[in-house]
Structure 1
Amino acid sequence: MKKITLIVFLLISGISWSQVLLINELDADSPSTDTAEFIELKSETPNFSTDGYILVFFNGSSSGGDKSYMVIDLNGYSTDINGLLVVGSEGVAPFPQLIISQNVIQNGADAVGIYQATVEDFPEGTLANQTNLIDALVYDTNDADDTGLMTLLGQTEQHNDNGTNANPKSIQRYVDAMDNVTFAAATPTPRRENDGSGTAVNPITISVAQAQYGEDDMFDITFTIETAPDSDLNFNINLDNYGFNTSDFTGNTNLIIPSGQNSVTTSITLVDDSLDEGDEVVQIKFVDLVEPIIAYNNYVEVRIVDNDFTIAPFGTPLNPTTGIVESTQPDGYYDSTDGLADLALRQALQDIIADPSIVRAQTYADVLAILNEADQNPANSNQVWLLYTEQGRAKLDVQTGSDNTDKWNREHTFPRSLGGFFDIEEDEVADGIDIYWTTKADSLRHGNSDAHALRAADAAENSTRNNQHYGEYNGPTGTLGSFKGDVARSVLYMEIRYIGLSVENGFPSTTGQLGDLATLLDWHRNDPPDDFEMNRNNIVYSWQKNRNPFIDQPLMVEYIWGDNVGDTWMQSLNVETNETLEVSIYPNPSTGRIYLSGLTNKADVEVFSVEGKLLKQFTAVEDYIDLDLSSGLYMMKLLNNNRSVIKKIILK
């Protein structure tokens, strides 16, 4: 009788573990920002190597067509003392063994499968199938059943996590006393058995008081364990991360939580060197925890602000300068445009800036490197200058996940949806300045990564702008409009650079068209190119081997779209007949009184709004003038002895 019972038990166990690796838990939507989503696998035996296995995720939406959208290679990993392996983002606690980006597991109706295969067996867009399938889970977040996806994977049930933002849940696998397998939605339990069984893990939490310190500061790191150990717990930490290493700090990284106690604190003193290394990030991570001691959180980041940043010799767009940065255009770069008008002028210009034997297209990922240099804040080399919000922001604050608060990202001044640009998979690789695509005037896809029309922008403001035409969108309230001429010249460049794009009057709805031309012409005229814009033109040229001609030759805009359409263009026309008036104005910004330095006698003064409206016209006979105007950005033209200059002034 005992033999029969044993045989029956073995048969049931064999049915329960017909495969060596199972999907034990899935959280695809926790919380709504998807910063703590994960999948947990379970092996029949603890410490099981997952070499030779992959995870494949399938998109069950109508556009996804039940095809793969992500593959994760499990080579080099193993399950823990409870046979669990958690694959998740850094927001999961306790901390996963295998890290993936936030917000990559789709909500459903979708599916995930374990395959005994290689990543190469599942190129993106592979239809769900059962070849070498070990286990599969079809799931949703309150979505209709995807019967087609279930059939493809041999499943008869689709599981719903039934969670909310206030009460996130995961789909969990349970086995009862009779080895019956069921799934239910419950509070997530990463790295712990769903039913509370198994060896209890004991997580340690890393805590710091602030997320940012100066280069000469000291800060404490506290480590708190969930259950006090019954003997001294020794462990080591590491703070190294890219350029930050042991030469940048002093402090103990070999730590002990004494028996019966729950925490230990170490003090880190940052070294204040004289090097301009840029802002750096300390990454606090455990080195040698031994299960059941595990990390509750890990790779905790603390920013170190470098106080050795540099300042450029030229001004920001809010305090612009001209004549300091020289164009790096080759001799004769625009010579082929001389003597031409109308369509012939357009064609000659396109032949220069879209010459396939010279011009290069970089990947969309490379644009981040370009913007870090081209849009560097002249007042702080550790920051980028943000287009619409007119402020600097740390280069390290580039948006990498779904959270866009106080982040910056890449803004297409000619929106992708209006231009018809798109990514390809290779666009996700930043392969550097020396690897590029050949590009032509009809290579419209390359408009997606053309840095002449991409700018660093506040991520939230970028979202607010969305794909509005200019004139519909005029920038945030309270800004001075220092970006307007830059924007105008960038989108006018795009019309000439790419066949299929145009800038039109009004707000067109046709793909390839952007408005409003009249608005952009006003912006160009009233916010002329400055040193910041010339500097970025030079930097983009070093990557793409083409230039924005309307920065180098701003008057050319009038011969293509403005007051001189049909007239013959000559480069000499771009040089003002009047000599430049050498005069300084201060203070700038000002409360109203502007002092003038460099005038030998009286000067004619005209003051314009940024929209080009003449507001004041008078003669200055003293070394100062009083402007009775409200706060804002203005253009002031000074004419003295047949010499002239235009200055931007800011009134507070």
Structure 2
Amino acid sequence: MKKITFIFCLLISGFSWSQVLIINELDADTPSTDTEEFIELKSQSPNFATDGFILVFFNGSSSGGDKSYFVYDLNGLVTDINGLLVIGSTNVSPFPQALIPESVMQNGADAVGIYQASVEDFPEETIATQNNLIDALVYGTNDSTDTGLLALLGQSIQYNDNGTNANPKSIQRFVNEFNVATYSAETPTPRRENDGSGIAINPISISVDQIEYGEDVVFEINFTSETTLTSDLNFNISLNNFGFNSSDFIGNTNLTILAGENSTNTTITLIDDSFDEGDEVAKIQFLDLIEPIVASNNYLEIRIVDNDFTVAPFGTPLDPTYGIVPSTKPSGYYNDTDGLAGVALRQALQNIIADPETVRAHTYADVIAILNEADQNPKNSNEVWLVYSEKGRPKLDIQTSSYNNGKWNREHTFPRSRGGFDDIEADEIADGIDVYWQSKADSLRHGNSDAHALRAADASENSSRNNKHYGEYNGPSETLGSFKGDVARSVLYMAIRYNGLEVVDGYPNITGQLGDLATLLDWHRNDPPDDFEMNRNNIIYNWQKNRNPFIDQPLMVEYIWGNNVGDTWLQTLNIADNQTPVVSVYPNPTAGRVFVSKLNTSVDVDLYSVDGKLLKRFINVDDYIDLNVASGLYLLKLKIDNQTSIQKIIVD
């Protein structure tokens, strides 16, 4: 069939169509964060099954090359009583019949086409084609015209939505009195005819006073229709979502809006059980609305905060403890490093932590599960501890869309762009601890998902750090630097684990290199491994079957990069030099005076800033010392005979 671009001969209301399915409306940019984007299709007749059709989205940018980047299968979907089918994000109202994540559709110059084909016919980066094309729309947001994409799809006009955040627009199809179809930018009208015709729908909204409740709380769910009901409306709802179900609440889920009214509500009582199930999410959704009654919004999520969280016996990095969590390294794990120095020591260490016979690599999606366990907040088992930001955040607040405010995500301490590693399609599948790749020193791609160098981080702070070198980036100004030794040891691990990675002085712009080595050595020395870090090492070992040696053997850093380069390494030296004396400092936090409990001998105490600067020295302390410093986090190095202990202390 010869396709006539932009102008169709449409015979409506008694006339025949030239197509069974068309693009009726497109909004790829509402608002600028693309959280309310959608595409609306229209069928020749209502209640039309779209089996055998797909949507294909094409990237018209210079890097995209007019190739496909996303395919959506229309199998199993049906248009509504007006012949409309909306596919969009959960933020679109009225609620779409089919869902896609936020920010999937690119803003332009790009295109979308309906094809009578299968998903397998369009692997990623398939060049735009007219083969089996049913309808197409080339669009943009006042972008330069993509003449190549227009030609490939047999189109002649690129349409712009011309919208703003305050005045959003969508590209809509209209038919004039001569049955000629054109597109123009108008206020979005999802699930409604663009010209206001058709059968009127009546959307019902779901609302609650809060989006978070604790256990043993009573709250109301309100339901309001857009227009008054002319007859009783009976409908059912569900709150079930994964582990949250009817055993977790009491309340009526069979509801009625009476004729002549436009609202109803139900009271929900959350059950306070004694189980540590973790925070859960109730998902309020309609089960059986019948058109023209439709959902205005749906799948409304309510967080249920579990009050039965557990507290670990060890402290957070801000309030560290030492010696509570033992290493789970196998006996003799590092024996092959003994008696070696220089390059030979480094190679022996790599042979252990990159042993292809034992070391495992998991997917980037699996890392979320690993971090939920390894970075768990010691003070609250329902939270992760955020590196850099030095605080807990609910595990449920993992970033899943472009919106990152108050969210956490996976931070590469050795940035991907500097390491030269990235993910592949298989990395998007979380397949658990028992499914893995074998990995070796040359498997640089696996650096993308190596949990030893990935941390839970505030999503906005992760963006702020970007790919800055350490030293250029020193964390948020208001934090105390409790993360510094942790990240130093994680990137030093990467430099040993993978061929092609190196930690160097300065701020290089060479792929594979990360700085600043001098800064990282100071961070390592002044923030020694604590129980939080050892627990983390143990958990990751359970997944990856390798360890970060600089947590188990912190002195080894000096023999590879520091003050003992060239000296012969012996594990017995590390044990003796790092033996912790029986000594404690209290109170912590303190107003300035601290007492020292010790053996029957005096203690020498050095006071350091968190960046490693020696501030004061106290000799032969036998009772207390007055620090006389400003509020903040400091390090105390306590020396008894040949033993030392480094402790963090907070001055209020």
TM range (shorter): over 0.9
Structure 2: unaligned runs, 5 residues or longer: 1-8
Shift of 1:540: 0.9
Going from structure 1 to structure 2, the CA distance change for 1:23 and 1:587 (only over 3 Å counts) comes to: same
Measure how far apart 1:425 and its partner are.
1.0
Q: Does the 8 A contact of 2:388 with 2:475 survive in 1?
A: yes
> Which residue is equivalent to 1:306?
306
Within 2, Cα distance between the matches of 1:295 and 1:13?
Answer: 28
Q: Deviations over 1:532-580 (max 9, x none)?
A: 1111111111111111111111101001000011111111111125853
Instruction: Tell me the alpha carbon deviations over residues 113-137 of structure 1, each in whole angstroms, 9 at most, x when there is no partner.
Output: 1111111111111111112111111
- Which amino acid counterpart does residue 610 of structure 1 have in structure 2? V
1:580 match: secondary structure: coil
Q: CA 1:204 to 1:345, structure 2 compared with 1: closer, same or farther past 3 Å?
A: same
CA contact (8 A) 1:578 1:642 kept: no
**Does the C-alpha gap of structure 1 residues 25 and 16 become closer, same or farther in structure 2, counting only changes over 3 Å?**
farther
The aligned counterpart of 1:317 is 317
Q: Distance in 2 between matches of 1:346 and 1:587?
A: 41
Please tell me whether the aligned partners of residues 16 and 179 of structure 1 are also in contact (alpha carbons under 8 angstroms): no
Contact 1:109/1:145 (<8 A) preserved: yes
Q: Which residue of the partner structure matches residue 69 of structure 1?
A: 69
1:397 matched residue in structure 2: 397
1:334 maps onto 2:329 in alignment: no
Structure 1 match to 2:631 = 631
Residue of structure 1 in register with 2:356 after alignment: 356
For structure 1, which segment, 323-332 or 270-279, has the greater mean C-alpha deviation from structure 2 after superposition?
A: 323-332
Number of the residue aligned with 2:529 = 529
Q: Cα distance, 1:604 vs. partner?
A: 2.2
In 2 relative to 1, CA 641–144 (structure 1 residues): closer, same or farther, beyond 3 Å?
Answer: closer
Distance in 2 (CA, whole Å) between partners of 1:504 and 1:65 is 38
Give the counterpart letter for 1:315 in structure 2: G
* CA displacement 1:63-84 (0-9 Å, x = unmatched): 1111111111111110000000
**Could you tell me whether the CA contact under 8 Å between 1:390 and 1:483 is conserved in 2?**
yes
CA distance in 2, matches of 1:471, 1:596: 33
Question: Shift of the alpha carbon at 1:638?
Answer: 2.4
Q: Show the 5 A alignment for 1:55-66.
A: 55-66=55-66
1:298 positional shift: 0.3
Match of 2:604 in 1: 604
Q: Describe the superposition over 1:29-70 as per-residue Cα deviations: whole angstroms up to 9, x where unpaired.
A: 000110000000000000000111111111111111111111
Letter in 1 for 2:81: I
Unaligned runs of 5+ in 1: 1-8
Amino acid at match of 1:42: K
SS in 2 for 1:606: strand
1:427 correspondence with 2:427: yes
Q: Give yes or no for contact 1:13–1:179 (8 Å, CA) kept in 2.
A: no
Question: What amino acid maps onto 2:124 in structure 1?
Answer: E
Q: Is the 8 A contact 1:115 1:133 kept in 2?
A: yes
Task: Give the C-alpha shift of residue 582 in structure 1.
Answer: 1.4
Amino acid at match of 2:177: A
Amino acid at match of 1:62: S
Note the 1:157-196 alignment, pairs <5 A. 157-196=157-196
1:218 Cα deviation (Å)? 1.1
Distance in 1, matches of 2:651 and 2:35, equals 44
The 1-side partners of 2:489 and 2:54 are apart by: 49
Alignment partner, residue 277 of structure 2: 277
SS of the residue 1:576 aligns to? helix
SS of the residue aligned with 2:616? strand
Residue in structure 2 matched with residue 238 of structure 1 by the alignment: 238
**Alignment partners' CA distance in 1, 2:591 and 2:507:** 38
Could you say which residue in structure 2 is the equivalent of 1:508?
A: 508
Report what 1:46 is aligned to.
Answer: 46
Q: Report the TM-score when normalising by structure 2.
A: 0.97
Aligned-partner Cα distance in 2 for 1:314–1:95: 47
How many residues of Structure 1 are paired with residues of Structure 2 in the alignment? 644
CA distance in 1 between partners of 2:135 and 2:523 (Å) = 60
Instruction: Indicate the residue corresponding to 2:208 in structure 1.
Output: 208
Residues 579 and 642 in structure 1, CA contact (< 8 A), matched pair in contact too: no
| C-alpha distance in structure 2 between counterparts of 1:603 and 1:350, whole Å | 39
Distance across 2 between alignment mates of 1:621 and 1:334: 37
Percent identity over the alignment is 73
2:6 is aligned to: none
After the TM superposition, which residues 101-250 of structure 1 pair with which residues of structure 2 at under 5 Å, given as runs? 101-250=101-250
2:4 corresponds to: none
Code of the aligned partner of 2:504: E
Tell me by how many angstroms 1:332 deviates: 1.2
1:614 counterpart letter in structure 2 = L
| Whole-angstrom CA distance in 1 between matches of 2:28 and 2:10 | 34
AA paired with 2:295? A
Q: CA separation in 2, counterparts of 1:637 and 1:423?
A: 42
- Quote the residue 1:5 is aligned against: none
What secondary structure, in the 3-state scheme, does the structure 1 residue paired with 2:207 have?
strand
Residues 214, 304 of structure 1: 8 Å contact kept: yes
CA distance in 1: counterparts of 2:622 and 2:327, whole angstroms? 36
> How do residues 438-453 of structure 1 correspond to structure 2 at under 5 angstroms?
438-453=438-453
Maintained 8 Å contact 2:168/2:188 = yes
CA-CA distance at 1:461 after TM superposition? 0.6
Alignment of 1:582 with 2:602, yes or no, is: no
Q: Give the whole-Å Cα distance in 2 for the aligned partners of 1:637 and 1:274.
A: 43
Kept in 1, the 8 Å contact 2:412–2:453? The answer is yes
> Residue 36 of structure 1 aligns with which residue?
36
Change (3 A) 1:622 1:496: closer
- Cα distance in 2 for residues equivalent to 1:599 and 1:283: 58
Is the alpha carbon distance of 1:15 and 1:569 closer, same or farther for their aligned partners in structure 2, counting shifts above 3 Å? Answer: farther
Q: Quick one: distance in 2 between partners of 1:412 and 1:577? A: 31
2:418 alignment counterpart: 418
Q: Is 1:593 paired with 2:586?
A: no
Per mean C-alpha deviation after superposition, the further-off stretch among 337-346 and 636-645 is 636-645
Q: Is the 8 A contact 2:604 2:621 kept in 1?
A: no
- Give how far 1:176 is off: 1.7
- Which is worse superposed, 441-450 or 28-37? 441-450
Q: Is the 8 A contact 2:11 2:17 kept in 1?
A: no
1:625 Cα offset (Å): 2.8
Alpha-carbon spacing, 1:10–1:162, altered in 2? closer, same or farther (3 Å): closer
Q: Could you tell me how far 1:590 is from its partner in structure 2? A: 1.5
Change in CA separation of 1:581 and 1:289 when aligned onto 2, cut-off 3 Å = same
5 Å matches for 1:434-583?
434-577=434-577, 580-583=580-583
- Does the C-alpha gap of structure 1 residues 620 and 254 become closer, same or farther in structure 2, counting only changes over 3 Å? farther
**Mean Cα deviation higher: 629-638 or 489-498:** 629-638
Task: Return the offset for 1:643.
Answer: 4.5
Partners of 1:300 and 1:141 in 2: CA distance: 31
Runs of 4 or more consecutive aligned structure 1 residues displaced over 6 Å after TM superposition = 9-16
Distance 1:621 1:91 in 2: 64
Mapped partners of 2:372, 2:635: distance in 1? 29
Residue in structure 2 matched with residue 18 of structure 1 by the alignment: 18
The two structures have a TM-score, normalised by structure 1, of: 0.97
The one-character-per-residue Cα deviations of 1:182-241 (angstroms, maximum 9, x if unpaired) are 111100000000000000000001111111111111111110100110111111110000
